[in-house]
Structure 1
Amino acid sequence: MIPRVRRIAAVCALGAALAACGSADPAGSARPAPAESRASASPSASRPPVLAPGPGGLTPVFEHGPRTLGKTVALTFDADMTADQGPRAAAGEHFDNPDLIGALRQLKVPATIFMTGRWADEYPIEARSLGNDPQFEVANHSYSHHAFTADCYGLPTIAADKMRADVERAYASLHQAGVPHALPYFRFPGGCYDQRALRALSGLGVTAVQWDVVSGDAFATDAGAVTRQVLDGVKPGSVVIMHCTRSAAPTTERVVRAVVPALRGRGYRFVKVSDLIGESAGHR
């Protein structure tokens, strides 16, 4: 078991207990190295920058932006939900976190939300609000939140021949919920992927987005410890993974309220993942 504050993307897993964002306003094996900073910068807002495919069209992987282009950092939040959590939501368990989203809006912090299709089905009003707010960008976190590799934090595993359809189904759910422009970025459940998974998604045009700073907010009860971990880990171009889930990540709002002024005091500027990938386009 990985220590609570250091656990790498217990993040999105441990029995798939994690789940999602809300709106305050109407480990895979044999992982290839992340793709180099080969991005295709889009001239239009409707086509966000993506990394170029790897050899043989393999889905590219992005972990962080350039370290030498100024103090930028992207906060990302996983909106996890699985089909079996529907009854728990109906029974009153909160898989959203409107106070966190409200804090981000109050602090004027742009952020990238990786949303499962199942969560968008459950919370279409919140999904639509986030997807239509220019402060946020919404990306794909699978439909089912099943793992794309074996032995991924206890998550059920999706078959290789169903991986592509799961991602496409998530995009359909986001669109149906009212997210007009879900980005061509995909985050593997649990962060677990291998060459088979990358190959299965080849041709979809997505960039797989990982991270270089694990907040440790999943299941954490000590906001101070999570805050220190984020502040100790951030470097120029960092991508921080957090969660916006009241039931499984209850400290995250407090963490954000502490981390944001501290990093701004150090001269950091908050950006979206698309901004970091766009910066990578000109840094070859």
Structure 2
Amino acid sequence: MITRVRSITAVCVLGAALAACGAPQTPRPARPAPSATSVAPSKPPTLAPGPAGVTPVFMNGPRGEDKTVALTFDADMTADQGPRAAAGERFDNPGLIAALRELDVPATVFMTGRWAEEYPGQARGIGRDPLFEVANHSYSHYAFTADCYGLPTVSEDRMRADVERAYAAFRKAGVPDAMPYFRFPGGCHDRRALKALTPAGVTAVQWDVVSGDAFATDADAVARQVLDGVRPGSVVVMHCTRSAAPTTERAVRTIVPELRRQGFRFVKVSELIGAARDRR
């Protein structure tokens, strides 16, 4: 994806280029099967609706002494880009996903429904790995506002349906517990879009650190940009695709040990949202 800074109610970053992520899952301990005496899992934390009941927007966690940071990766595929995949273009990055597992880094993957349809095995592997959580990045990766990096747009009356269609695609692919978090394509949103998604019951998730990894050729520069921007509670937006973000794995292999050296702990977005909600 193309990553640039802009403002449409909040910072908008991702461009129209594809990005995707996924890799064959390496063996990991299976989740224990629920028993009759198991306690039902609690619902994922969300934020309360904003003024007039509009969809809440989350940017970062608390800026306290708890040095947590969430790495997020967008698995994008627009609804009309199937021919590119059919022609052999690959939008996954097995090395990146393998690196996250090797480094034992929890992460949140914002996935489009179209991507889950194209790569159901990879979507299932990510969704069933307790190291990761899958969140919603729309079905089509069409923009929810006009003038969003050249992306096609989804009409207001189809916005909620587009989000719900993505969840349906996740279920069909075998993702068991997609989170009630939504990232706008391109990061572009306005009050109209937030209001349209209120019935979906999602928390919109943005970010406060731009990695600059899209189309980057210098992994060290990407790593420096992240390391310079991270603060306690940060949400970092990154990409995972061999074609549009070829340096991300190398950058992650620099970012992770350095942030750990600085005392940071990697968490999923859900933990940051829970911490933010508990402080309200």
Instruction: Calculate the TM-score normalised by the size of structure 2.
Output: 0.90
> Post-superposition shift, 1:283?
1.4
Query: Secondary structure of the equivalent of 1:78?
Result: strand
| % identity of equivalent residues | 73
> Post-superposition shift, 1:167?
0.3
| 228 and 147 in structure 1: CA distance in 2 versus 1, 3 angstrom threshold | same
Query: Secondary structure of the equivalent of 1:51?
Result: coil
> Post-superposition shift, 1:281?
2.3
Aligned residue in 1 for 2:69: 73
- Superposed CA RMSD in Å reads 1.6
Partners of 1:213 and 1:239 within 8 A in 2: yes
Query: Secondary structure of the equivalent of 2:135?
Result: strand
Please list the CA deviations of residues 44-76 of structure 1 after superposition, one character each: whole Å capped at 9, or x if unmatched.
635100000112210000000000141000000
Matched, 1:145 2:141: yes
> Post-superposition shift, 1:11?
4.8
Matched, 1:83 2:83: no
1:54-203 paired onto structure 2 within 5 Å: 54-203=50-199
* Alpha-carbon separation, structure 2, partners of 1:254 and 1:124: 26
Partners of 1:12 and 1:190 within 8 A in 2: yes
1:273 alignment partner, one of 260, 269, 272: 269
> Post-superposition shift, 1:84?
2.3
Gaps of 5+ in 2: 27-38
Instruction: Calculate the TM-score normalised by the size of structure 1.
Output: 0.89
Aligned residue in 2 for 1:25: 25
Equivalent residue letter for 2:21 = C
Q: How many residues align?
A: 263
> Post-superposition shift, 1:83?
2.2
Partners of 2:136 and 2:179 within 8 A in 1: yes
Partners of 1:24 and 1:99 within 8 A in 2: no
Partners of 2:3 and 2:13 within 8 A in 1: no
Aligned residue in 2 for 1:236: 232
Equivalent residue letter for 2:155 = A
Please list the CA deviations of residues 83-121 of structure 1 after superposition, one character each: whole Å capped at 9, or x if unmatched.
222111111111111110000000000000000000000
Which moves more between the two structures, 265-274 or 50-59?
50-59
Equivalent residue letter for 1:90 = A
Please list the CA deviations of residues 2-59 of structure 1 after superposition, one character each: whole Å capped at 9, or x if unmatched.
xx8765688532xx21221112316xxxxxxxxxxxxxxxx96351000001122100
Equivalent residue letter for 2:47 = L
Partners of 1:20 and 1:244 within 8 A in 2: yes
Partners of 2:12 and 2:187 within 8 A in 1: no
> Post-superposition shift, 1:246?
0.9
Aligned residue in 1 for 2:249: 253
Aligned residue in 1 for 2:35: none
Gaps of 5+ in 1: 27-42
Partners of 1:76 and 1:240 within 8 A in 2: yes
Partners of 2:44 and 2:270 within 8 A in 1: yes
Equivalent residue letter for 2:60 = H
Deviating above 6 A after TM superposition, structure 1's stretches of 4 or more consecutive aligned residues are none
Aligned residue in 2 for 1:35: none
Query: Secondary structure of the equivalent of 1:105?
Result: helix
